[in-house]
Amino acid sequence: MSPPWLATHTSPSSSCTTYGAAPSTTPSTSSLPGPVATPDAFLLLNQRTPQDADLSVLPTVLPPREFALQRDAHGAAWKVTGDAAEQRLSQSRRQILALFAGAPTPLTPTQVAALLDKPITTARSALWRMANDGLLIAANGRYHVPPDSAEQDSPSLLHDD
């Protein structure tokens, strides 16, 4: 695959937009070609396959966000398909997170195994690994999603609600 691409965006009043191959180090205004202006955000496009890419939006003031992109049928444009971290999850982890999204209370490994028709050892191992990766919280033998991930809005490139 080709190296990631970096773009900076500044407010309309400064009218400075820079595109080019991403530097191997953290970008700074001194390392970018063209007029120097303080960017509002850095946009980093990292193509994973010919049809899939991740777009990292790194605002200078707001928390960073990462979006999964997919080429359209003609290969002429990219469309946002969701959160990049969620798109990189395995099918098994997506099933477990979907189960927890609809659960009103924390679940035990036995409940998860029964609901997903999986062996208890498989469910216990998967839940333990997901808790270690920060996708779930374990407390008293029960698991639940972290509060911030349950309340997170769907990604939007156009505005922050």
Q: HEC profile for 127-147? A: HHHHHHCCCCEEECCEEECCH
Confirm whether pTM is higher than 0.85.
Answer: no
Count the domains in the chain: 2
Do 78 and 100 have their domain in common?
Answer: no
Q: Is residue 159 part of a domain?
A: no
Mean pLDDT (the chain) is 74
Neighbours of 35 (CB within 10 A): 12
For 5-39, the pLDDT digits (tens) are 556 554 444 444 445 555 454 555 555 555 555 66
Q: Which domain holds residue 70?
A: 5-84
114: domain CATH number?
Answer: 1.10.10.10
Q: What is the CA 121 to chain-centroid distance, rounded?
A: 29
Residue 155 lies in a domain: no
Tracing tokens 């036995």 back to the chain, one arrives at 110
Domain co-membership, 21 together with 67? yes
